[in-house]
Structures are given as C-alpha cells and as structure tokens.
Amino acid sequence: MSRASRVARVAMRDVARAMTGRDVASTGRARGATTTAATARAARDAIGGTGRCASAGATVARMRARERAGTGWRAFERARGTTSASASASASASAATATDAMRRVNAFMVREREIRVFPGARGRVATSLSSVAGHVSFLLLGYSYMTSDLLTLRALAVGGLSAAVVFQYFRDVPLWLPIRWNALFVAINVFWVAKLYYDEYNAEHWCTTEERSLYDRHFSHMALNSFRTLLKHGKWRDIERGFEFTKEGKMNENVHVLIDGSAEVYVGGKSVNSIDAGSFIGEMSLMRSIAGSNAKKQSKRPRAASATVVAAERCRVFSWDDGELRQLIQQNEQIKSGVQAAFGVGLAEKLLTTRVMSTKVFAQEPQRVSHALA
C-alpha cells in the first residue's frame, strides 16, 4: 500500500470519527429534547388529565343535579295531576250531588197534592207547591197595591216577586227570562227596604215626639227624608185664642196643621163649622191654585181665603209660608204628591165630620157655605 493510500485512509477514518461524534452529540441532544418533550407532554397530560377529571366531576355533578331536579319536577307534576284529578273528581261529585238534590227538590215542588180549600167532598183541589207559590205571589203583589206605607209596599213586593221566581223556576222547563227580570226587581226592592228601614231607624235621632206624631197622622205615605225636608220649610207655633188664621177675601199667607186645640170657621160673619186637632187650615186655597188645567199660571200666586178661621182656644200648630211651600212643591215631585195626598185625606175628613149640613146657616145661605167648602 502506498503512502498516499494510507494517508487517504487515515483521513477518511478521522472524518468518519468526527461524523460519528457529531451524530452522538446530535443523538444526545435529540434524546434530551425528546426527553424534555416527553416530560412536557407528560406534564401537559397530567394537567389535562386533572382538568378533564375536574370537568368530568363537574359535569357529573350537573347531570346528577339535573336528574334530581327532573325527578322532583316529575314528582311535582304527578302530585299536581293527582290533586287536579282529585279536585275535578270532587267537583264532579259535588255537581252530581247538587244535581240530584235539585232533581229531588224539583220533583217535590212540582208533584201534585190534594189540598182542602172548602169543606165537603168537592173542597179538595189538586195543586203543587210551585203553583201555591204562584198564587202567593199574586196575592202579595195585589195587597201591595192597596197599602200607602212605602216600607210595607216594598217588603210585599220583595215577597211577591220572590214567590214568582219560585213558581217560574220549578217547572218542566224554567222560565229564565222572567226569572232574571224578577231577580233584578227583587234586588231593587231589597235596596229600598234597607234604605227605608235605615231612614226609619235614623229618624229616632232627629225626629221629636211632635214631629213623629205629625208624620204618622198625615204624612206616613211620604219618605222620611222628604218629610224632613218639608219640616225644614215650616215652624212650630203657639197660637193664642182669637188669632185669625185666615181672613175671608184676603190673600192666604200661611198653611197650618192644627196639632192641639180647635178653631171656628166663619163665612159672612156667621159660624158655619168648627175645626178640631189634626185638621189643616188654609190648604184649600193652595190646592185650588196648583190643581187644574191652569195650575202653571196660578201656582205662583196665592188665592184669597174663602172663609175666616179663628182660634177658639190656645192652639199648637205647625205652619208653612204659603209662597215657600208653593215653591217647594214645584221643585220636588215627591213632596208635592205627599202634600196633595195629605191635604186630600184632610179634606175628606172635614167633609165627613162637618156639621154644616145640619145648621140653619146652610139652609139660609147654601151658596156661601158651599163656596167655603170649595
């Protein structure tokens, strides 16, 4: 082998060694990097595993909470469904019970019975309780038309209309149209009964014994509130003997109601009649001026008295000013109807108790005495 060949081989060996050293270093560095990467990956995996474990635990907890909530909600729904079903069943049972009860009551009310009305074999009448309620309704309503007391009238109307509702309901087919209207009328009359009763109770606090006696004697058909208004426009007076309430031929200035005492009536200076306690004085001229076809023209001015009325003894009266009473009557229809009714009853009592027909004055001057009564 030549020297050149040996030199070349040594050189190639050195190169191979150098390359081998670099490869070992590179391999070491690679191995270190690989170890570091593996450690990092292991750390990351450990951290990730911990996070995943925590996340998985939270997820499991949430799922369990949702499951528990769902279980509770389903239990609530089942309980509510059970309660609703129980309530529906209870309501259905109650409705069925009420329906059965109404059927029994309806059968009881419409079943015909024999009722003895008159003695004897023919005195029996076949009728039902529903029909009896109908007859009672008409009887009560008919009697209410004959009473002048407002509280009694309203109470009778409530009873009559209620009996009519019973008659109209307990039938094969209830008459709902009149039932509804009669129920409305019952409610209206119940309201008025309560109001009148309250006014009657409240009157004990403001109404004196004299005022109550005056109301019961002449104005009981008027509501107490209207009577109270009427009292506010008048006054109580004590009259001495010889006082002239009215003067024949002169304008009448006052209207009186005689509470206690008596008075004499003179026409042309001659006594033609006497007036006792409870009578009105001066009401005829007022009634003539507000009645008739020309009432609107005459109602604003008083009429001349047709007789002279003188107190025969000391008297207690309640007086209204003629013009003020006339104005009150024009403004308040309830007071107008009440005053006219009271005056009408008073006039009828005067005619029934008068002694004019048996006096010589009437035989001698019938025209003048008749004018005094007009």
The dihedral built from the CA positions of residue 103, 176, 144 and 208, taken in this order, carries a sign that is positive
Asked if the structure places residue 274 within a domain, the reply is yes
154-196 pLDDT, tens digit per residue, is 999 999 999 999 999 988 788 999 999 999 999 999 999 998 8
Q: Where is average pLDDT lowest: 70-74, 290-294, 326-330?
A: 290-294
Write out pLDDT tens, residues 32-82.
Answer: 444 445 544 544 554 454 444 445 555 656 666 666 655 665 665 666 666
For 211-232, write each residue's pLDDT tens digit: 888 888 888 878 788 888 899 9
Domain that holds residue 134: 128-205
In a domain, 12, yes or no: no
Residue 179 lies in a domain: yes
Q: Are 334 and 326 in contact (CB under 8 A)?
A: no
Same domain, yes or no: 177 and 253: no
If asked whether residues 182 and 286 sit together in one domain, one would say no
Structure tokens at 86: 């129980």
pLDDT digits (tens, 9 = 90+) for 231-281: 999 999 999 999 999 888 888 888 999 999 999 988 888 888 888 888 898
Percent of the chain with pLDDT over 70: 60
Both 224 and 366 in a single domain? yes
Residues 8-19, mean pLDDT to the nearest whole number = 55
Same domain as 197, residue 159 = yes
Whether 327 has a pLDDT exceeding 60, the answer reads yes
Coil, strand or helix: which one is 304? strand
Q: In Å, what is the CA distance from 202 to each residue of 60, 189, 224, 238? A: 79, 19, 9, 28
Using alpha carbons only, give the angle 109, 112, 113 rounded to the nearest 5 degrees. Answer: 105
Cβ neighbourhood burial of 10 (10 Å; 0-12, 13-18, 19+)? exposed
Same domain flag for 355 and 225: yes
**Residues 263 and 361 occupy one common structural domain:** yes
Please name the residue ranges forming H helices in the chain: 3-110, 129-144, 150-169, 176-206, 209-218, 224-232, 283-290, 295-298, 322-331, 333-353, 360-364, 366-373
Residue 139 has pLDDT above 90, yes or no: yes
How many CA atoms does the CB half-sphere of 301 hold within 13 Å?
7
pLDDT value, residue 71: 63
| 115 pLDDT above the threshold of 90 | no
Cβ 283 vs Cβ 321: under 8 Å = no
Residue 316 has pLDDT above 60, yes or no: yes
Contact criterion met (CB below 8 Å) for 141 and 160: yes
Tokens of 339: 């005053």
Same domain, 198 and 238: no
Residues 219 and 269 in one domain: yes
By CB atoms closer than 10 A (0-12, 13-18, 19+), residue 306 is buried
Q: What tokens appear for 284 in the block? A: 């005829």
Residue 295's pLDDT band (cuts 50, 70, 90)? very low
Query: So what's the pLDDT on residue 317?
Result: 94
Which CATH number goes with the domain that contains 228? 2.60.120.10
